[in-house]
Amino acid sequence: MTESEHIGMLRDSMRRYIAAHAPREAARDWDKRNHFPKDAFKELAKTGVMGLTIPEEYGGAGVDLPATMAVIEELAKRSSALACPYIMAACYAGMNVVEAGSESQKRDMLPKIARGELLFAYGLSEPNVGGDLASVETHARMEGNRIVLNGAKRWCTGADIAGYIFCLTRTGPKEDKYKNLSILLVPPTAKGVTITPLDHLGIRGVETKDVSFDDVELGPDAILGGPDKWNQGWRQLAGRALEVEKLELSAVALGLAEAAVADAWQYAQERIQFGKPISAHQSIRHALAEAKTKTLAMRLMLDHATRLVQDRKPSAAETCMAKLYLCEGAAEVTQKCQRVMGAYGLSNLMDMERYVRDAIGLPIVGGSSNMQKNNIANRLKLAE
């Protein structure tokens, strides 16, 4: 498959960056310690890739979603500790401010995001709220010129390293479920914000947090898009940035699947059993041939959906299909490759066990596979 020349060059530059700043041993250590590698991230920012979702007039490189996905894919191959904060900058922050920020928010935030100095954490999920996001219980009221926020967010990845928590908030009666929601940009350092860590399997390197808000006071400039966007949060959330959210997780899935296939492919030719490389055994040949084939199908599907979103063409069903197919595909491919490597696929001296741990979470997070199937059927107007 041919890729445009600029994306090929970008991949080469990402591979050089990874070789210099994220060797395998370092990436294993970040994973083990659940550690955000600040210095390696600063070096990543110097390559200019944070600006790939930001127009040039705001200090970015121009909105280039295929390039953004290529960066995520290359980073995910090596480390979630780099792929996650990149997503927090380019996608959570960049995409949302570009699409829904007020002019003053754009002027203030986009140059910082493009320099890698400002990340957003997504504060959507709550203790009682998973897939049904519009039922959030975190609530805010306007008192004169100040906003008072109360409630709790769960699974808020990177809340401690973000400049703002992108907080989906109930701002009116809950009976009007989709209407009375606003997106507030909450500094994690604001008085009344408490952050506590959560632990989980896989996707490590940026800690996931419980966040509580106790009478947090904010100014009207904390409303994404400005004061006019009070109670317009659902429309802002369900826009192009949410389409990109499905693509970015798909790009992580593709990176993990590709890395797993590459490692297993090499291992199978080096490991000798019964007097020949295990790659000479038909079962291993078939497993690797299937994994390669699936990975190519994943790549084509991601490219197709990304191109639709880049060109602002209808993409609501296709992005859900990509999220469904790629995330399920990564879980399948990584486990298939793990078996090719036998016991070494389970060893924490190798990277395969990390690929599997990261991949099995992907069909669960960011809208589960079940939710994607619901969305596909609904968007394609399948009669109920």
Ligand X SMILES: Cc1cc2nc3c(=O)[nH]c(=O)nc-3n(C[C@H](O)[C@H](O)[C@H](O)COP(=O)(O)OP(=O)(O)OC[C@H]3O[C@@H](n4cnc5c(N)ncnc54)[C@H](O)[C@@H]3O)c2cc1C
Residues of this chain that bind ligand X (CB under 6 A): 122-125, 130-131, 155-157, 200, 203, 208, 361, 364-368, 370-371, 374
Tell the burial category of 3 from Cβ atoms under 10 Å away from its Cβ (0-12, 13-18, 19+): middle
Nearer to ligand X, 14 or 203 (CB): 203
d(CA 139, CA 75): 36
Q: Which residues are CB-neighbours of 262 under 8 A, at least 6 positions away?
A: none
Nearest to 9 by CA among 66, 51, 57, 54: 66
Give me the amino acid identity at 84.
Answer: C
Nearer to ligand X, 101 or 361 (CB): 361
Nearer to ligand X, 155 or 325 (CB): 155
State the nearest-atom distance from the C-beta of 124 to ligand X, in Å. Answer: 3
Nearer to ligand X, 207 or 303 (CB): 207
Tell the burial category of 40 from Cβ atoms under 10 Å away from its Cβ (0-12, 13-18, 19+): buried
Tokens of 86: 């990149």
Nearer to ligand X, 58 or 120 (CB): 120
State the nearest-atom distance from the C-beta of 185 to ligand X, in Å. Answer: 15
State the nearest-atom distance from the C-beta of 373 to ligand X, in Å. Answer: 8
State the nearest-atom distance from the C-beta of 270 to ligand X, in Å. Answer: 33
Place of tokens 């490219």: 303
State the nearest-atom distance from the C-beta of 166 to ligand X, in Å. Answer: 9
d(CA 363, CA 372): 9
Where would I find the beta strands (DSSP E) of the chain? 120-123, 139-143, 146-157, 164-170, 181-186, 193-198, 208-218, 272-273, 276-277
State the nearest-atom distance from the C-beta of 103 to ligand X, in Å. Answer: 27
Residue whose beta carbon is closest to ligand X: 130
Nearer to ligand X, 66 or 367 (CB): 367
* Torsional class of 67: left (φ above 0), alpha (ψ -120 to 50), beta (otherwise): alpha
Give first-to-last CA distance, the chain, whole Å. 39
Please answer whether residues 182 and 138 qualify as being in contact, where contact means their C-beta atoms are separated by less than 8 angstroms.
Answer: no
State the nearest-atom distance from the C-beta of 370 to ligand X, in Å. Answer: 3
Nearer to ligand X, 178 or 283 (CB): 178
